[in-house]
Amino acid sequence: MIKLKPSDKLESLPPYLFTRIHKLKLEAYAKKLDVIDLSIGNPDMPTPRHIVDCLCDTVKHHTRTHGYPQAKGMPKFRVSVAKWMGRRFGVDLDFNSEILALIGSKEGIAHLCMAYLNPGDYVLVCDPAYPAHFNGVVIAGGRVYSMPLLEENDYLPNFSKIPVSIAKKAKIMLLNYPNNPTAAFVKDTSFWKEAIKYCKKYNILLVSDNAYSELTFGDAICNSIFEFSGAKDCAVEFHSFSKTFNMAGWRVGWCCGSKKLLYPLEKFKSFLDYGVPTFIQLAAVVALNSSQQCVREQAQIYERRMIKMVDGLNKVGWKTNKTQGTMYVWTSLPENLKEEGSLSVAERLLKETGVAVSPGVGFGANGEGYVRISLVTHDKRFHDALLRIKKFTKMGNIL
């Protein structure tokens, strides 16, 4: 057998902590344990019927859609996105030059880093964050500067704490609200204005990852960065069909922004992929152009689950608060388990009770002391999960 080492870039990536949880899950399934999987953000609800019907009909009857797609997105897709952004946020985007189809926003974020970064360039990344935010930077050869998201600051970064020397060297800032994993929501829109001002001052590309824009509760309504003056000069925004329309497996999303800021990503991708399959783009068009009632109803389901989980956790000694969006509950560990650490707690919880959650430390050092619970199982299962968590908490760590 030949001996080959993967690239230094790949080797420099931290171990992916979630693979340990994944392995334990597989072992538990193999033992036929009753697993309640609340670990990954994979929607449990199906894609709405009208979208599935469009896909089936298109694949069956329109064989020209079986060929290579238009990589940047077919005009119909980009026009639908532009109109949806106009209806939803009141923002004006040119379908021709300011929208780019993506094979999911994760792909887009990783490739944007590759399109913009030279080795050693700094990127301002929240800690904790969706892992693709920091891993995408490392794969591209960039350097992560962590902006702590602390509970006492409502999980918002404090831009004034970033050293000026770092700000001057930074090329990208990555923000994501409603936030994964903390479920934080931006209530005071002056945060976005401040972010834009900061990025313009230091010549930084502001990336707003808006994957959860439609998963908000009650009267909380998420903004687009382009609702704020000056954003087109410094920002791009990512959107995803994965959570909004329960289309996580379809792999489709988009990035939008000025032609100048978007073009490097389009150019980079043109060397790598052929874009989103045409039949998926056409089904995505139906998702955008149809009634959005299914999206609202789904958000209400997540809200109901969130209330049940937050109330239940607080009763058994895990401290957490009600949130205004996403599909996650971010909870601190109970006092008697804090010292053990989130990875060990998550592993034992799965092994001993069959409840799978994500260890907070997997999202960054500041995630230690927390776990993330995804609200992705049938409502009835939450009661069962809470009973198991209660028993586990009472037992503590006897080792």
Ligand X SMILES: Cc1ncc(COP(=O)(O)O)c(C=O)c1O
Identify which of residues 106 and 232 has a Cβ nearer to ligand X in the complex: 106
Q: Nearest distance from residue 111's CB to ligand X, in Å?
A: 11
Alpha carbons within 13 angstroms on the beta-carbon side of residue 312 total 21
Per DSSP, the chain holds a count of helices (H) and strands (E) of 15, 12
Q: Residue 39, interface with ligand X (CB under 6 A)?
A: no
Identify which of residues 104 and 334 has a Cβ nearer to ligand X in the complex: 104
Dist. CA 138–CA 109, nearest whole Å? 12
Dist. CA 215–CA 289, nearest whole Å? 18
Which single residue is written with the structure tokens 């999960």? 385
Q: Residue 185, interface with ligand X (CB under 6 A)?
A: no
Q: Which residue(s) pair with 147 in the sheet?
A: 126
Q: Residue 213, interface with ligand X (CB under 6 A)?
A: no
Q: Nearest distance from residue 164's CB to ligand X, in Å?
A: 28
Q: Residue 106, interface with ligand X (CB under 6 A)?
A: yes
Identify which of residues 326 and 353 has a Cβ nearer to ligand X in the complex: 326
Identify which of residues 43 and 312 has a Cβ nearer to ligand X in the complex: 43
Q: In what order do the strands lie in the sheet with 235-240?
A: 99-102, 253-257, 235-240, 205-209, 170-175, 122-127, 143-148
Site string for ligand X, 241-280 (x = CB under 6 A): -x-----x----x---------------------------
Judged by CB under 6 A, the stretch of 51-59, 104-112, 260-268, 304-312 that binds ligand X is 104-112
Dist. CA 354–CA 349, nearest whole Å? 7
Dist. CA 376–CA 258, nearest whole Å? 35
Q: Residue 325, interface with ligand X (CB under 6 A)?
A: no
Q: Nearest distance from residue 60's CB to ligand X, in Å?
A: 26
Q: Select the residue interacting with ligand X from 37, 98, 127, 209 (CB under 6 A).
A: 209
Q: Select the residue interacting with ligand X from 104, 142, 157, 325 (CB under 6 A).
A: 104
Cα–Cα distances in angstroms (integers) from residue 33 to residues 24, 84, 144, 393, in the given order: 11, 44, 39, 20
The residue among 382, 380, 360 whose CA lies nearest residue 183 is: 360
Q: Select the residue interacting with ligand X from 41, 48, 136, 354 (CB under 6 A).
A: 41
Identify which of residues 144 and 167 has a Cβ nearer to ligand X in the complex: 144
Binding residues for ligand X, per CB under 6 A? Answer: 41, 104-106, 130, 176, 180, 209, 211, 240, 242, 248, 253
